[in-house]
Amino acid sequence: MTMNERLRGLYAITPDRHVDLAQLRSDVEAALAGGARIVQYRDKSGDTERRRLEARVLRDLCSAFAVPFIVNDDVELAVATLADGVHIGRDDGELAVARRRLGEGRLVGVSCYNDFELARQAAAGGADYIAFGSFFASPTKPNAVSATPALLRRARKALGVPVVAIGGISPENGAALVRDGADMLAVVSAVFGADDITAATRAFAHCFDTAEETT
């Protein structure tokens, strides 16, 4: 099974703010224990040394669980820490450049917001997965554009790459998005803001079980 073929399930994204490395590692380990299928390190600070250390620690942790580790927005950090891939948005550089820097066999994901044409271009340009959102109001990005389930249904039929849904997703609303075509549910606060991260992660895993039972 290739890395791309494993892209289904909960996509856990670390919060920008965390207490320290020990807490971050503990929280991510709890998510992995609950069944997170991919982990993205997201940190918008300018502390290069801390970000590099944290990314390396999380990469090793994800490797122990055989789960892909992705770096948000920073191709050079992904290269330096031997991450499994990078996720880029509209302002984070070109897909082709990210692919050249990472090489084949590593993942490049692209945020496409609510723009199907952008997703079509990303898929044609070699993106390993594309992401749409926000599907619901999100505390992480309160000003994000709104995406609709119709995008997921269209992408499933036309694009041929795994699709991520992001934005305000909970265990209660996630299964419907999976039925509409989401291969992964990307979540920040509903996992890492939970009192029991492992239990929250397992609840998201149930979204995929429920969707498969009804298809």
DSSP per position, 106-164 = SEEEEEEET-HHHHHHHHHTT-SEEEEE-SS--SS-TTPPP--HHHHHHHHHHT-S-EE
For residue 42, indicate whether it is catalytic. Answer: yes
Rounded CA gap, 84 and 91, in Å? Answer: 21
Q: Give me 132's structure tokens.
A: 């749409």
**Can you tell me which residue has the tokens 């942790």?**
61
Q: Closest Cα to residue 191, out of 166, 215, 210, 214? A: 166
For residue 111, indicate whether it is catalytic. Answer: yes
Catalytically annotated residue among 59, 99, 106, 111: 111
Catalytically annotated residue among 141, 153, 179, 202: 141
H/E stretch holding 178: helix 171-180
Catalytically annotated residue among 42, 56, 153, 179: 42
For residue 189, indicate whether it is catalytic. Answer: no
Q: Which residues contact 139 (CB under 8 A, 6 or more apart)?
A: 168, 189
Q: Which residues are catalytic?
A: 42, 111, 141
